[in-house]
Amino acid sequence: MIVVLDGPAGAGKSSTAKAVAARSGFQYLDSGAFYRGLTVVFRQMGEDIPRFLERLPAMRMEARYDGSDFRLFVDGTDLTDQLRLPETSARVSVVAALPEARAVVNAALRRFVATGDFIGEGRDLGTAVFPDADLKIWLTADLAARAERRAAELEAMGLGAEAAQVRAELARRDTLDSTRQADPLRKADDAVEVDTTHRSFDDQVAEVLRLIAEIRKGNNPSPNPQNP
Helices vs strands, H then E, count in the chain: 8, 8
Query: How far is Cα 186 from Cα 203, in angstroms, rounded to an integer?
Result: 24
92 vs 137, which CB is nearer to ligand DC? 92
Window 4-33: residues binding ligand DC (CB under 6 A): 9, 31-32
17 vs 192, which CB is nearer to ligand DC? 17
Strand segments (E) across the chain: 2-6, 27-30, 61-65, 70-74, 77-78, 118-122, 135-140, 192-195
176 vs 215, which CB is nearer to ligand DC? 176
Query: How far is Cα 153 from Cα 168, in angstroms, rounded to an integer?
Result: 16
Among 36, 43, 136, 149, which residue sits at the site for ligand DC (rule: CB under 6 A)? 36
State the binding string over 76-115 for ligand DC (x if CB under 6 A, else -). ----------------xx--x-------------------
**Under rule CB under 6 A, how many of the chain's residues touch ligand DC?**
14
State the binding string over 153-182 for ligand DC (x if CB under 6 A, else -). --------------------x---x-----
Answer yes or no whether residue 43 interacts with ligand DC by CB under 6 A.
no
Pick the closest to residue 96 from 27, 188, 180 (CA basis).
180
91 vs 210, which CB is nearer to ligand DC? 91
Positions that interact with ligand DC (CB under 6 A): 9, 31-32, 35-36, 92-93, 96, 122-125, 173, 177
